[in-house]
């Protein structure tokens, strides 16, 4: 509908935190183990946690002695404890100087949010701009083929005593995976949210990265470091550098 608020401006608040409470510090520690193993061994001077949310990965990085800064559009998530060094901002126009970071990290499918391809490409251009020459990047994305093959159209969950009805579908025209969530509170109130992400193939992502100025060094299928398999891998994890 004309004038409707973009889904990513509505969804990332307190209900999001409740529904994804299982994405916890222990999981973040495993993710940072992977990052340190595959982006090292050189210690970066500064790390950007792109679309950092409530900052669980930033916290883990700080605890390991990294100098990390986060950015996220949601001020609700940024205000969630524990507070980390972060700023509110849009990843299409990052509020940082050129070549400010040695590492840029993007966790949990935080790419492909925007309806126009040009907007999503702007995110890659901004990563290139703020990344030092030779700097490393990491992008954790859904694996399109496995996600589509296992897409569950409807289900109902009980999360922290609340009923959550979930509907999922793939829009072939826009090539987007969509997820509508209806959260029913104990008083009967229902709030509805949408997630919508452009479903890129591995080739599309790596070609887009190269056009932007980022070279892919390796592609993994999960945080255990297994090689990416198009049909079966859980994730599409890309590690590379600024050429």
Beta carbons within 8 Å of 85's beta carbon, 6+ residues apart: 58, 62, 68, 69, 70
In DSSP terms, 210 is beta-bridged to none
Q: Which residue in the block uniquely carries the two structure tokens 């109902």?
A: 156
Domains and CATH numbers, the chain: 7-143+201-242 (3.40.50.150), 147-195 (no CATH)
Alpha helices in 169-229 (DSSP H): 202-212
The one-character DSSP state at 79 is T
Per-residue pLDDT of the chain (243 residues; tens, 9 = 90+): 444 689 999 999 999 998 888 888 999 999 999 999 999 888 999 999 999 999 999 999 999 999 999 999 999 999 998 888 999 999 999 999 999 999 999 999 999 999 999 999 999 999 999 999 999 999 999 999 999 999 999 999 998 888 999 999 999 999 999 999 999 987 889 999 999 999 999 999 999 999 999 999 999 999 999 999 999 999 999 999 998
Distance CA 199, CA 185 (A): 31
- Tell me what pLDDT residue 22 has: 80
Is the Cβ–Cβ distance between 112 and 56 less than 8 Å? no
pTM: 0.94
Beta carbons within 8 Å of 126's beta carbon, 6+ residues apart: 91, 92, 93, 94
């Amino acid at each position: 509908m004309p004038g409707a608020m973009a889904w990513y401006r509505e969804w990332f608040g307190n209900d999001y935190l409740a529904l994804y409470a299982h994405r916890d510090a222990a999981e973040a520690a495993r993710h940072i183990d992977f990052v340190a193993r595959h982006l090292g061994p050189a210690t970066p001077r500064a790390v950007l946690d792109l679309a950092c949310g409530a900052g669980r990965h930033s916290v883990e990085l700080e605890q390991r002695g990294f100098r990390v800064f986060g950015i996220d559009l949601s001020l609700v998530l940024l205000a969630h404890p524990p507070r980390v060094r972060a700023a509110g901002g849009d990843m299409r126009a990052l509020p940082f100087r050129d070549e400010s970071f040695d590492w840029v990290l993007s966790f949990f499918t935080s790419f492909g949010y925007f309806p126009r391809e040009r907007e999503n490409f702007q995110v890659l251009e901004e990563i290139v701009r703020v990344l030092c020459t030779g700097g490393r990047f990491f992008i954790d994305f859904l694996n399109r083929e496995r996600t589509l093959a296992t897409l569950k159209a409807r289900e109902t969950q009980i999360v922290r005593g609340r009923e959550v009805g979930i509907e999922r579908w793939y829009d072939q025209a826009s090539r987007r995976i969509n997820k509508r969530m209806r959260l029913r509170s104990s008083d009967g109130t229902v709030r509805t949210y949408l997630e919508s992400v452009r479903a890129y193939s591995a080739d599309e992502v790596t070609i887009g990265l190269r056009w932007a100025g980022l070279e892919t060094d390796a592609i993994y299928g999960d945080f255990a470091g297994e090689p990416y398999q198009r049909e079966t891998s859980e994730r599409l994890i890309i590690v590379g550098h600024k050429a």
